[in-house]
Structure 1
Amino acid sequence: MSDLVRSTPRGPWDLAGKTVAVAGGGSVAPGWSIGRAACVTYARLGATVLVLDRDLSSAQETARFITEEGGEAYAYEADMAREQDIVDTFRSLAMRHAPLDVLHHNVGIGKTGGPMETSAEDLDRIHSVNVKSLMLSCQAVLPSMVERRTGVIISIASVAGLRYLGYPHLAYCTTKAAVIQMTRMIAQQYAPYGIRANTVIPGLIDTPRVTANVAHMFADNLDEAKAERARQVPMQRMGTAWEVANACAFLASDSASYITGTELLVDGGLVGKFV
Structure 2
Amino acid sequence: MRLKDKTAVIIGAGQSPGETTGNGRATAIRFAQEGARVLCVDRDLASAEETAKLAGNGSAAFQADVLKEDSLGAAIAEAVRLWGRLDILHYNVGVSIAGGDAPPTEITAEAFDRVTAINLRGFILAVKHALPVMRRQEGGVILSISSAAAVESYPYVAYKTTKAAMLAFTEQVAIQNAEYGIRCNTILPGLMDTPMAVDTRVRHTGKTRAEVAAERNAKVPLRRRMGTAWDVANAALFLASDEAGFITGVALPVDGGRLVQIG
Q: What residue number does 1:170 align with? A: 157
Number of equivalent positions: 258
Task: Give the distance between the partners of 1:96 and 1:41, measured in 2 at CA.
Answer: 20
Q: What residue number does 1:81 align with? A: 67
SS in 1 for 2:174: helix
TM-score by length of 2: 0.94
Q: 1:75 to 1:125 in 2, by over 3 A?
A: same
Question: Structure 2 matches for 1:183-202, cutoff 5 A?
Answer: 183-202=170-189
Offset at residue 219 of structure 1 (A): 6.5
Amino acid at match of 2:132: P
Root-mean-square deviation (CA, aligned residues, Å) is 1.5
Structure 2 gap segments, 5+ residues each: none
SS in 2 for 1:155: strand
Structure 1 gap segments, 5+ residues each: 1-12
Question: Structure 2 matches for 1:118-197, cutoff 5 A?
Answer: 118-165=107-154, 168-197=155-184
Task: Give the distance between the partners of 1:91 and 1:21, measured in 2 at CA.
Answer: 10
SS in 2 for 1:72: coil
Q: What residue number does 2:201 align with? A: 214
Deviates more, 1:46-55 or 1:94-103: 94-103
Offset at residue 196 of structure 1 (A): 0.3
Structure 2 residue 245 is the aligned partner of structure 1 residue 257: yes
Task: Choose which of 81, 85, 108 in structure 2 pairs with 1:99.
Answer: 85
Deviates more, 1:125-134 or 1:33-42: 125-134
Structure 2 residue 204 is the aligned partner of structure 1 residue 239: no
Q: What residue number does 2:95 align with? A: 109
* Deviation readout 1:80-126 (Å, 9 max, x if unpaired): 12222212332333323320100000011123411221111211111
Q: What residue number does 1:4 align with? A: none
Report runs of 4+ in structure 1 exceeding 4 Å deviation. 216-219
Amino acid at match of 1:154: L
Task: Give the distance between the partners of 1:250 and 1:134, measured in 2 at CA.
Answer: 20
SS in 2 for 1:57: helix
Offset at residue 146 of structure 1 (A): 1.0
Q: Quick check: 1:218–1:228 contact (8 Å CA) kept in 2?
A: no
Question: Structure 2 matches for 1:11-90, cutoff 5 A?
Answer: 14-30=2-18, 31-67=20-56, 71-90=57-76
Offset at residue 210 of structure 1 (A): 3.3
SS in 2 for 1:206: coil
Aligned-pair identity in percent equals 41
